[in-house]
Copies of this chain bind each other. A is one copy, B any other.
Amino acid sequence: MAQYETRHTDRTLSAGAMTFSGDDLEDFARGAAFLGAGGGGDPYIGRLRAEAAIAEFGQPKIIGVDALADDALVAMVAMLGAPTVLVEKGIAGEDIDLAATRLAERIGRPIDALIPAEIGGVNSTLPIVAAARLGLPLVNADGMGRAFPGIHMTVMNFEGVSATPFVVVDEHLNTCIIETDDAQKAEEFVRSVAVQMGMSCVCSGYAMTGAEVKRATVANTMTAALELGRAIVDGRRTGDPAQAIVDYLRSSPIYGEARSLFRGKIVDLQRETTRGFSIGSCTLAAFDDDTVRMDIKFQNEHLIATQGETVRAVAPDLISLVDAENAEPVPVEAMRYGQRVDVIAVLAPRALRTPAALDAVSPRCFGLDHDYTPLDALPASTNF
């Protein structure tokens, strides 16, 4: 798995340790929203939550994976449900405390540190809230190096770390603890409970050792989100923020390849909240030629971008939409008819492209009739 060498600045410390100051949280949320590939909910909401938690409980310590003792107990915390619902329900207080507490109770030892499940939208900032509330350090890493719609779609699972016991808590503090040795089964149970919980709940699971974190997560993705968010702002000053995204991710040892795929306006949008997901598709048309089009399908996250029969990018590679003017990431639930956007694709972290990973996150796992072809093996194409 790629280890990202932090570009040191006065605001980030060595070996993955981070502190937030100034506009960092805003930049971080922006970068995470891009890496969320359309999923993970509204970064603005997530940032406000994190700011409020930091104001009340103080800033949590963010540590690199190498700072973890090999026998430390680390637990994943996340929100779960359809982003369209997540943005409307105000959770992540006592519920997230209870999720981590129940997990620790079930395991029989206290949790030493928290880790994000995914880097993307609300699930990048929720762990900051949880770590602040619980007074625990947060590990600068995550389970996906992007966002995915299933709790089994993690490097932890691909590398043999058990997802369960997996605790789900709703805003009324109803709890459910799932135990199964099959992470995909856990996903099915958790999703059905999440639907009963109004498609929005918090959860904690993937209890693992520090040694497991080091071999079975994507390291330094919080740093990547922060630096990507800053790159977008810097790009606005130089006039091409979308290109700044591509440039930053191409130079990243986590990702290594990124491309602009399309620029145009949304001329068709089908989106429904069903089975605990935001599922649908959209069609873009070029500004200057309505016959030049791109189709994108999504399930919380964008899954595939095609032009006619030609695949331009497909999961597990990242596909993100950003505003055509300022490259602000556009999550799935914020997409709207007529919106002018750039489509940018990014090669998935190596840990998502192993045979074990592709068993869970290949295009066919999402019901698409395609095999995975890495972005750098597809013909490049933009309409601008």
What is the count of identical protomers in the complex?
2
Q: Interface segment, A21-29, A61-69, A173-181?
A: A173-181
Contacts of A178 in B (CB 8 A): 174-176
Chain B residues positioned under 8 Å from A177 (CB to CB) = 175-177, 179
Contact call B196/A192, Cβ cutoff below 8 A: yes
Interface size on A, residues (CB 8 A): 17
| A188 (CB) vs chain B CBs: closest residue | B196
In the complex, residue of chain B having the shortest beta-carbon distance to the beta carbon of A175: B179
CA distance A355 to B118 in the complex (A): 49
Nearest Cβ in chain B — how far from A255, in angstroms? 35
Indicate which residue in B175, B179, B180, B192 contacts A192 across the interface (CB closer than 8 Å): B192
CB of B188 within 8 A of CB of A180, answer: no
What is the CB-to-nearest-CB distance from A104 to chain B, in angstroms, rounded to a whole number?
14
Where chain A touches its partner, the secondary structure class is mixed
List, in ascending order, chain B residues with CB within 8 A of A195's CB.
Answer: 192
Query: How far in angstroms is the closest Cβ of chain B from A369?
Result: 26
Quick one: closest B residue to A178, CB to CB? Answer: B176
Shortest distance between the CB of A172 and any CB in chain B (Å): 7
Residues of A160-216 whose CB lies within 8 A of B? 172, 174-180, 182, 185, 188-189, 192-193, 195-197
- Complex Cα gap A332–B193 (Å): 28
Residue in contact with A196 in the complex, picked from B172, B175, B189, CB distance below 8 Å: B189
Q: In the complex, what residues of B have CB within 8 A of residue A189's CB?
A: 174, 176, 193, 196-197
Produce 1/0 per residue, A54-78, CB < 8 A to B.
0000000000000000000000000
A213 to chain B minimum Cβ distance, whole angstroms, is 25
**Please, which residues of chain B bring their CB within 8 A of the CB of A192?**
192-193, 195-196
User: Can you sample 13 A-B contacts with CB below 8 Å?
Assistant: A172-B182, A174-B178, A174-B182, A174-B189, A175-B177, A175-B179, A176-B177, A176-B189, A176-B193, A185-B196, A189-B193, A189-B196, A192-B192
20 A-B pairs besides A172-B185, A177-B177 with CB distance below 8 A are A172-B180, A174-B178, A174-B179, A174-B180, A174-B185, A174-B189, A175-B177, A175-B178, A175-B179, A175-B180, A176-B177, A176-B178, A176-B193, A177-B179, A185-B196, A189-B193, A189-B196, A189-B197, A192-B193, A192-B195
